[in-house]
């Protein structure tokens, strides 16, 4: 029987009258990884903070048992907690760029736990001892050149090294229990895999790990046991393999069903019925609506020199089909999107819309044709004038399309209901809407202009998986019924796999691989694509039994 590092029985946390954690129980032993899985608002983060005594003061917390490192934590006062934090329980947060103090060196940050705790325990370490410990720990998490890295700042390190340093800062005092809160969410795919491997190593060395994640693929890779949380409750718990392959609870099943990477184009992800749009004129699916011809764009870098953001990219997009552009951050896909939208003039090459000049036109003449190509962005909120209500946003777009003044209100309501927004939302401002609702408003605004091409730049990246599923279904409905052509930009291979007919893989501004979606994903030819796909924490093998 393994040593119990944390045991929670019937934990309840509430703010005022709102219960955010409702009777949660779990335990974690040495060398074991428990994953708390759930969408935002499920209470997983605050549950983990209870093990550190870091629940906000305004919260009411109660538990039949809350023991940390073998002690009953319900009795702890603040100074007792300070002795536990960092020493007995470590925390690895999401994004090292902001979770490490940007004003202090890596060495200072990593050494801080030891420094503070050795002083508290009246055995202060000397400078040399501290520096040696920091270097040893940086080496332990496989950071090369630990001596010089310790002198650098978080912003000077690459994302992967940064996240390793954050882990080192949590593990240097050898806490037996480590809480990793979305430790890979902010990272590019290749680095994700490395960080997960590191956490796996720590687990094998005997650390108990509580992994908090919304991402089932990440969970499948290192968790021994999984607890699925919804609305502050654990709805299903068990060993990882059985929960992920044979989920019993309906919520777990819907989560798995919503994972786009597991479903081919055309399969529904969410549980909502298809929307019904006004049938448009039939579309000739063989005609090319958008042509990108050898487009290049470079930018001046702050330190001098130029960076080639987009390098001789070409493709054709046929009516009614979707081209997926996938790449990691900095691959040039967003710049390409701006060029396609005519918001940025390329250095070389040209974009044709409906076979006629587009990128080469002066803005005055392009404006007349802008209705043909519309966009949906990653952060819809910032793309709305903050003063306007949903209704006003839709009416502006409709008015541009030439809808008569008298009909604007009725048409806006009709448009909203077509994308699944209730009429009562028209009077609200987007700020008060949920992420999924905001994206529906953005989609409705684009559709109001009757476009032939829809460009979507990371439209579902900020959404929870079940909401993401609904929005992806909406895109599918729109394409099926209106015959829109779509350019779909994303870093998420699963999403791209689900939506695309054809895929472009971009790296450093260059298209390194292209082809029909199925071919690229099943038999990638370019080493970069192969590396990307192999880094994908692929749940497919674990999840074969998942219902579709």
Partner 1 sequence: MSTAVAGTSRAGAALTLYLPRLVGALIVIWGAATLAFLVLHLVPGDPVDIMLGVQSTVSEQVRESIRDELGLNQPILQQYLAYLGHVVTLDFGRSYRLQQPVTAVIGAQLLPTVQLAALSIVFALVIALAIALAARTRVARAIATLIELIAISSPTFWTGLLLLTVFSFQLRWFPVSGGQGLPALVLPALTLALPIAGILSQVIRHGLDGANAQPFVDSARARGLTFAEQLGRHTLRHASPPAVTLAAYIVGSLLGGAVIIEQLFGRPGIGRVALDAINNRDLPVVMALVIFAAVVFVVINLIVDLLYPLIDPRLRRTR
Partner 2 sequence: MSVGRPDLLELARPAAGRRRRTVPPVGAVAGVVLGVLVLAAVLPWIFTGADPLATATSDSQLPPSLEHLFGTDKLGRDVFSRVVHGAGLSLSFGFTATLAALILGILIGVASGLAPRPVDNVIMRALEIALAFPELLVALVVIALLGPGTTNVIVAITVAAVPVYARVVRITTIQVRQSAFIEASVALGQHRVAIVLKHLLPNVIGPLLVLATIGIGTSIIAGSGLSFLGLGPVSPTPEWGLMLSDGRNSLGTAWWIAVFPGLAITVTVISTTVLGRYLQGRFEGRAR
Please tell me what DSSP assigns to residue 13: E
Q: Which helix (H) or strand (E) holds 26?
A: strand 18-29
- The residue within the footprint of partner 1, chosen from 123, 127, 155, 300 (CB under 8 A), is 155
- β-pair type (485-490, 322-326): parallel
156 lies in the binding site for partner 1 (CB under 8 A): yes
83 lies in the binding site for partner 1 (CB under 8 A): yes
164 lies in the binding site for partner 1 (CB under 8 A): no
- β-pair type (208-213, 177-181): parallel
Q: Which stretch binds partner 1 (CB under 8 A): 86-94, 142-150, 460-468, 476-484?
A: 86-94
Cβ neighbour number for residue 154 with a 10 Å cutoff:
21
Interaction partner, residue 329 (partner 1, partner 2, none; CB < 5-8 Å by kind): partner 2
Cα within 13 Å of Cα(388), Cβ side: 17
Lookup result for tokens 């476009």: 451
> Least CB distance from residue 126 to partner 2, whole Å?
37
362 lies in the binding site for partner 2 (CB under 8 A): no
Cα 395–chain centre separation = 31
Q: Which stretch binds partner 1 (CB under 8 A): 10-18, 149-157, 320-328, 331-339?
A: 149-157
C-beta of residue 37 within 8 angstroms of C-beta of residue 101 = no
**Number of helical (H) and strand (E) elements in the chain, helices listed first:** 20, 21
Cα 399–chain centre separation = 35
Interaction partner, residue 341 (partner 2, partner 1, none; CB < 5-8 Å by kind): partner 2
Judged by CB, which is closer to partner 1: 183, or 483? 183
C-beta of residue 155 within 8 angstroms of C-beta of residue 97 = yes
> Least CB distance from residue 117 to partner 1, whole Å?
6
385 CB-contact burial (10 Å; exposed 0-12 / middle 13-18 / buried 19+):
exposed
DSSP-assigned states of every residue in 339-394: HHTTSS--SEEEEEETTEE-TTS-HHHHHTTGGGEEEE-S-GGGGS-TT--HHHHH
354 lies in the binding site for partner 2 (CB under 8 A): no
Which residues within the stretch 360-389 sit at the binding site for partner 1 (CB under 8 A)? none
> Least CB distance from residue 91 to partner 1, whole Å?
4
The 297-336 contact track toward partner 1, x by CB under 8 A, reads -----xxxx-------------------------------
Which residues within the stretch 388-447 sit at the binding site for partner 2 (CB under 8 A)? 396-397, 400, 429, 431, 445
196 lies in the binding site for partner 1 (CB under 8 A): no
Q: How far apart are CA 246 and CA 241, in angstroms?
A: 8
Token pair for 276: 């019904």
379 lies in the binding site for partner 2 (CB under 8 A): yes
86 lies in the binding site for partner 1 (CB under 8 A): yes
- Residue 394 dihedral angles phi and psi, to the nearest 5°: -70, -40
Q: Which stretch binds partner 1 (CB under 8 A): 166-174, 257-265, 342-350, 408-416?
A: 166-174
Cβ neighbour number for residue 284 with a 10 Å cutoff:
11
Lookup result for tokens 């702890």: 76
> Least CB distance from residue 5 to partner 1, whole Å?
16
Site residues for partner 2 per CB under 8 A: 15-16, 20, 40-46, 49, 56, 58-59, 94-95, 181-182, 185-186, 188, 212, 214, 329, 341-343, 363, 367-368, 370-371, 374-375, 377, 379, 382-387, 396-397, 400, 429, 431, 445, 449, 458, 461-462, 464, 491
Site residues for partner 1 per CB under 8 A: 52, 54, 79, 81-87, 89-91, 93-95, 98-105, 112-113, 116-117, 120, 153, 155-156, 166, 169-170, 179, 302-305
């Amino acid at each position: 029987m393994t040593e119990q590092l944390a045991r929670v029985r019937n934990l309840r946390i509430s703010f005022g009258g709102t219960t955010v954690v409702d009777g949660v129980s779990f335990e974690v032993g040495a060398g074991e990884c428990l994953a708390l899985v759930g969408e935002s608002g499920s209470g997983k983060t605050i549950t983990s903070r209870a093990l550190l005594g870091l629940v906000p003061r305004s919260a009411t917390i109660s538990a039949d048992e809350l023991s940390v490192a073998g002690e009953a934590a319900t009795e702890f006062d603040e100074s007792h907690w300070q002795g536990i934090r960092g020493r007995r329980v470590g925390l690895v947060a999401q994004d090292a760029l902001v979770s490490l103090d940007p004003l202090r060196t890596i060495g200072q940050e990593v050494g801080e736990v030891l420094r503070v705790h050795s002083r508290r325990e009246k055995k202060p370490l000397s400078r040399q001892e501290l520096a040696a410990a920091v270097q040893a720990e940086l080496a332990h998490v496989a950071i090369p050149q630990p001596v010089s890295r310790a002198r650098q700042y978080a912003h000077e390190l690459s994302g992967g090294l940064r996240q390793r340093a954050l882990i080192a800062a949590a593990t240097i005092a050898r806490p037996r229990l480590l809480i990793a809160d979305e430790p890979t969410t902010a990272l590019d795919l290749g680095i994700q895999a490395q960080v997960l491997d590191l956490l796996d190593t720590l687990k094998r060395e005997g650390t108990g790990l509580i992994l908090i994640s919304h991402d089932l693929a990440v969970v499948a890779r290192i968790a021994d046991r999984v607890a699925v949380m919804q609305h502050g409750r654990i709805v299903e718990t068990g060993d990882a393999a059985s929960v992920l392959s044979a989920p019993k609870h309906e919520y777990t099943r819907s989560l798995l069903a919503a994972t786009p990477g597991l479903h081919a184009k055309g399969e529904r992800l969410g549980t909502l019925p298809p929307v019904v749009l006004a049938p448009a004129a039939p579309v000739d699916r063989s005609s090319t609506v958008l042509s990108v011809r050898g487009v290049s764009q470079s930018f001046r870098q702050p330190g001098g020199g130029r960076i080639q953001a987009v390098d001789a990219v070409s493709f054709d997009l046929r009516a009614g089909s979707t081209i997926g552009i996938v790449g990691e951050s900095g691959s040039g896909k967003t710049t390409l999107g701006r060029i396609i939208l005519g918001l940025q003039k390329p250095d070389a090459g040209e974009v044709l819309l409906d076979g006629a000049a587009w990128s080469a036109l002066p803005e005055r003449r392009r404006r007349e044709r802008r209705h043909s190509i519309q966009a949906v962005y990653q952060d819809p909120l910032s793309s709305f004038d903050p003063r306007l209500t949903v209704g006003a946003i839709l009416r502006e777009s409709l008015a541009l399309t030439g809808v008569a003044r008298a009909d604007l209100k009725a048409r806006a309501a009709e448009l909203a209901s077509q994308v699944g927004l209730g009429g009562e939302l028209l009077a609200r401002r987007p700020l008060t809407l949920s992420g999924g609702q905001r994206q529906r408003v953005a989609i409705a605004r684009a559709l109001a202009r009757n476009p032939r091409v829809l460009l979507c730049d990371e439209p579902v990246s900020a959404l929870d998986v079940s909401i993401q599923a609904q929005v992806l279904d909406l895109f599918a409905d729109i394409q099926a019924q209106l015959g829109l052509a779509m350019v779909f930009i994303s870093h998420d291979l699963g999403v791209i796999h689900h939506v695309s007919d054809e895929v472009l893989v971009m790296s450093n501004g260059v298209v390194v691989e292209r082809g029909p979606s199925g071919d690229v994903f099943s038999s990638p030819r370019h080493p970069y694509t192969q590396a990307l796909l192999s880094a994908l924490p692929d749940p497919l093998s674990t999840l074969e039994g998942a219902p579709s």
